[in-house]
Structures are given as structure tokens and as C-alpha cells.
Amino acid sequence: MVKVGANHRKRIMEFPEWRGRSLFQSEANRRKNFQPDVRVKGDLRLVNERLEKENSSLRTENEEMRRSLNEANNLIQRYENLIVQLSRKTGVKLTSSVSTARQ
């Protein structure tokens, strides 16, 4: 009796008509008789289009968030500069909650 590997035994369980053939013959016959499913290609095209749209909207959202984050950082910087100017004019040491949080 010929010893067969675990993969071949699994394939024989899936495809009983392969019993008695070598794994190579079975694979060769499967490849030779392969018919691509046209529906799958169409479905993949739709999935690809949907993913491209989603990617585009995520990029737009990312740009908007980056812009708003830059604006927020600019406002924080201006706020800290105003605090520094005020503390210089009054001679009183002032600190903002933002600058203490950053440290």
C-alpha cells in the first residue's frame, strides 16, 4: 500500500473521486478543468469600487481632521504667547493649564 500525506487524505475526503490517484494528478486535473466564475469578477469589481469610495472619503476626513488639529494647535500657541506677554507686563508668573498639561 502506498503511503499518502495528510493533505492528500484531506483532499480525498473532500473529493472521493480522487481515490487511487496521486496528488499531482488530482491537482493537474483540477487546474485543467478550472472555469473562472464571471460573477465573482463582477462582484469583486463592485467591492473594489466601494472600497475606493470609502478610501476617498476617509482621506477627506483625515485631511479635515488634520486641518482642525493644526488650527487647534495654533490657537493653543497664541493663547500661551498671550499668557507669557501678560506675565511679563504684570511681573506675576502665570501658567496656563495647557502648558502645565504638556509638561
Is residue 15 situated within a structural domain? yes
- pTM, rounded to two decimals: 0.46
Is residue 62 situated within a structural domain? no
Is residue 54 situated within a structural domain? no
Is residue 40 situated within a structural domain? no
Total domains, the chain: 1
Let me know if 7 is exposed, middle or buried by CB neighbors in 10 A (0-12, 13-18, 19+).
exposed
Looking at the predicted structure, is the pLDDT value of residue 91 above 70? yes
Is residue 50 situated within a structural domain? no
Is residue 68 situated within a structural domain? no
* Identity of residue 82: L
Is residue 21 situated within a structural domain? yes
- From the CB of residue 29, how many other CB atoms can be counted at a distance below 10 Å? 14
| Structural contact between residues 79 and 97, judged by C-beta atoms closer than 8 angstroms | no
Q: Note the pLDDT of residue 92.
A: 82
- Domain limits for position 8: 1-34
> Tens digit of pLDDT for each residue in 9-30?
666 666 655 555 555 555 666 6
> Tens digit of pLDDT for each residue in 44-54?
888 888 899 99
Is residue 101 situated within a structural domain? no
Question: How far is C-alpha 87 from the chain's CA centre?
Answer: 48
